[in-house]
Amino acid sequence: MIEATAFYGFSILAIASALFILFSKNLIYAAFALFFSFLGVAALYVLAGADFLAVTQIMVYVGGVLVLLIFGIMLTQKANRNEDSSAHNRVDVLIKRGAWGFVLGGGLFVFLLKIILSSDFKMAGETNNSKSTIRTIGVELMTSHLLPFEIAAVLLLVALIGAAYLAINRNPAQ
């Protein structure tokens, strides 16, 4: 009962925050709504028995990605001092583009809903959500998933160097 209440509550939190991002005109408000959406998704991870993934989600997305996105929003502002304060971070949505977005998004949702409701999954394994998943994830990462783990490490290094190069070297022509 408590589990169902928490599940539906956090689902509504995540979806309502996502809808707020969709309809918000102010990008800073959208970024803060994304924070609540990430928190709701992390709570869904906990309810699905993935405790380590929930903490990783909060640390990586809320602690890293969202701060980066907010800095990106603030660094790409136009400095128009004479306008009113509510006009900053304003994102205009063309009518045609908005119509296409709603048609494509709604159509995709109806399509996925039809597939999910018509599917019939036969689950083979037993569900045991009582114990922590950290030991299993650590052992699997160091044994059978060692190559993807190393590739992910190299990818992070490449992304770090590439992002630093792109952001620092502002004008390579000079």
Partner 1 sequence: MIPLQHYLIVAAALFSIGFAIAVTKRHFIGMLLGIELMLNAVNINLIAFSQYDPEKLGGQLFALFVIVVAAAEVTVALAIILRVYGHYKTVDPDQVSDLQK
Taking CB under 8 A as the criterion, the residue among 105, 142, 146, 150 binding partner 1 is 105
Choice between 85 and 168, CB closer to partner 1: 168
CB neighbours of 24 closer than 8 A, spacing ≥ 6?
A: 30, 33
Helix (H, G, I), strand (E, B) or coil at 79: coil
Question: Does 29 interact with partner 1 (rule: CB under 8 A)?
Answer: no
Question: Does 146 interact with partner 1 (rule: CB under 8 A)?
Answer: no
Name the residue with tokens 């689902």: 11
Name the residue with tokens 């809808």: 19
**Minimal distance in Å, beta carbon 77 to partner 1?**
9
Helix (H, G, I), strand (E, B) or coil at 111: helix
**Minimal distance in Å, beta carbon 145 to partner 1?**
6
- CB-count burial class (<10 Å; 0-12, 13-18, 19+) for 70: middle
CA distance 17 to 30: 8
Site residues for partner 1, 43-72, by CB under 8 A, read 44-45, 47-50, 52-53, 56-57, 60-61, 64-65, 68-69, 71-72
Question: Does 145 interact with partner 1 (rule: CB under 8 A)?
Answer: yes
Question: Does 39 interact with partner 1 (rule: CB under 8 A)?
Answer: no
Choice between 52 and 85, CB closer to partner 1: 52
